[in-house]
Amino acid sequence: MEYDIASPTLSEQGSQRMAWAGRRMQVLATLRQRFTTEKPLEGRTIAACLHVTAETANLMLALRDAGARPILCASNPLSTQDDVAAALVAEGISVFAIRGEDSTSYYDHLNAALDLEPDVTMDDGADLATLLHTSRTDITPVGSTEETTTGVIRLKAMAQDGTLRLPVVAVNDSATKHLFDNRYGTGQSALDGIIRASNVLIAGLTMVVVGYGNCGRGVADRADGHGAKVVVVEVDPVRALMAAMDGYQVMTADAAAAVGDIFITVTGNKHVLRGRHFERMKDSAIISNAGHFDIELDLVALGGMSTEKRQVRNNLEEYILEDGRRILVAAEGRLVNLGAAEGHPADVMDMSFSNQALAAEWLIANEGKLDPGIYTLADEIDRHVATLKLEALGGALETLTPEQEAYLTGWQEGT
Ligand SMILES: NC(=O)c1ccc[n+]([C@@H]2O[C@H](COP(=O)([O-])OP(=O)(O)OC[C@H]3O[C@@H](n4cnc5c(N)ncnc54)[C@H](O)[C@@H]3O)[C@@H](O)[C@H]2O)c1
């Protein structure tokens, strides 16, 4: 079996963490039972470029239960949990990922996964899909799946200009993914990352959330719960108005830069905090990012404005500006929830990864019937996943009476 990981000796700790995560992934467990008997992915190779975490490991086991040969490489050089990588290798699953690897090693690992000629590729950020459309046109999988907002945006741009040559399931577009993973998952884990990196008391500080999409809303909500004064920066008037009516101050980035103690970007956009903002920041302001790529904070500009850079804690670097002010950067500007914490809790990845597994099953079941394009999973799948998760949380659904059903589908009854 081929693999490239930091150290196989870490497998015991990784197995423990995988097992704990597995206990909190009840929807995936239900799916695994069906997969074990039906084997919908029998004999298929699935290459997943996802964060190498305990939750992803459980998805790999589900794919194996379905009869597939899963292969895992990292979707971010800083998010790999080396112990989990070791535990998967001990399970006989090929993993190509090492925490902190450089860009060359990162892409060597993606190519190693593609060398195994996958039938389906899974992405979190469209890096495998991009290779499949540039340097690796020698491989043509049945289809691909995409986990995150930024990846879906990239793939839609490929479809728009006619470049896309594969059917792709936008898993992010399932309601049971983006309304929960992006909001509650990022909300909790991004705060966890900032706290682990800095150990500051959030209560009483001003926290600036740049971007009020699903992720930003979750982060703002959790920061508010910790007692922060939350300021939101948005470019979309509807989202900005939502933030205002949710009770937050809405400001321009310039104005927010001067008042913030902690900043977090969650836009999927480039250089949303840059030189002009760093110039206005208070001494010891902490800046972080939870958007997909490490381009939301312009750290090149910050480096250029600084006389010195030093590590002050794990995952926290201090840049000293010419006037003596210090700006602290968490997790090198990469996803703070994965770089400085453990990523989303298993409870929410349960739904995201159940959707991933169902997307792979759907692509194989529809092999040869799908044109290149972006697809979303059917509403019934969302309803099924939500029902199972609700049951796991101890909730119960009300049902419509026949009279109510008739009322909701008719038009005759009015005032
Ligand atoms: N950290 C994680 O684990 C995690 C999880 C899910 C998604 N993501 C990533 O987080 C990012 C945001 O995802 P989302 O689902 O919230 O996206 P979204 O599209 O729902 O929200 C992004 C928001 O940012 C705003 N925005 C864009 N440019 C801006 C700017 N210059 N200043 C202020 N606001 C700006 C947009 O108007 C939008 O409201 C994406 O890159 C996504 O891939 C990260």
Torsion sign, CA atoms 344, 350, 352, 356: positive
Q: Does the pLDDT value for residue 349 go beyond 80?
A: yes
Q: Does the pLDDT value for residue 109 go beyond 90?
A: yes
**316-321/306-313 β-pairing:** antiparallel
What 3-state class would DSSP assign to 145?
Answer: strand
- Measured between alpha carbons, how far is 10 from 360 in angstroms, rounded to an integer? 30
Q: Check if 215 has its Cβ closer than 6 Å to any atom of ligand 1.
A: yes
Q: Check if 148 has its Cβ closer than 6 Å to any atom of ligand 1.
A: yes
**Cβ–Cβ < 8 Å for 179, 171:** no
What does the pLDDT average to over 333-345?
A: 95
Q: What is the pLDDT of residue 200?
A: 98
Per DSSP (E only), the strands in 88-227 are 94-96, 120-123, 143-146, 167-170, 206-210
Q: Check if 216 has its Cβ closer than 6 Å to any atom of ligand 1.
A: yes
**Cβ–Cβ < 8 Å for 335, 189:** no
pLDDT digits (tens, 9 = 90+) for 222-248: 999 999 999 999 999 999 999 999 999
Report which of 91, 69, 61, 84 is spatially closest to residue 5, judged by C-alpha positions: 84
Q: What is the pLDDT of residue 414?
A: 83
Instruction: Tell me the pTM.
Output: 0.94
Cβ-proximal residues to 340 (8 Å cutoff; 6+ apart), any chain: 193, 194, 196, 197, 314, 315, 316, 330, 331
Q: What is the pLDDT of residue 369?
A: 98
Atom from ligand 1 closest to the CA of residue 178: 15
* pLDDT range class, residue 82, cuts 50, 70, 90: very high
DSSP bridge partners of 326:
320
Report which of 99, 120, 110 is spatially closest to residue 314, judged by C-alpha positions: 99
Q: Check if 262 has its Cβ closer than 6 Å to any atom of ligand 1.
A: no
Residue of 266, 297, 334, 353 to mutate, ligand 1, most atoms within 8 A of C-beta: 266
Atom from ligand 1 closest to the CA of residue 125: 43
- Measured between alpha carbons, how far is 27 from 280 in angstroms, rounded to an integer? 47
The protein residue with its alpha carbon nearest to ligand 1, atom 38, reads 213
Atom from ligand 1 closest to the CA of residue 148: 43
Residue with tokens 């990352």: 193
End-to-end CA distance of the chain: 70
Q: Check if 186 has its Cβ closer than 6 Å to any atom of ligand 1.
A: yes
Atom from ligand 1 closest to the CA of residue 343: 3
**Cβ–Cβ < 8 Å for 237, 263:** no
Report which of 10, 96, 85 is spatially closest to residue 49, judged by C-alpha positions: 96
pLDDT digits (tens, 9 = 90+) for 31-58: 999 999 999 999 999 999 999 999 999 9
pLDDT digits (tens, 9 = 90+) for 139-159: 999 999 999 999 999 999 999
Q: Check if 266 has its Cβ closer than 6 Å to any atom of ligand 1.
A: yes
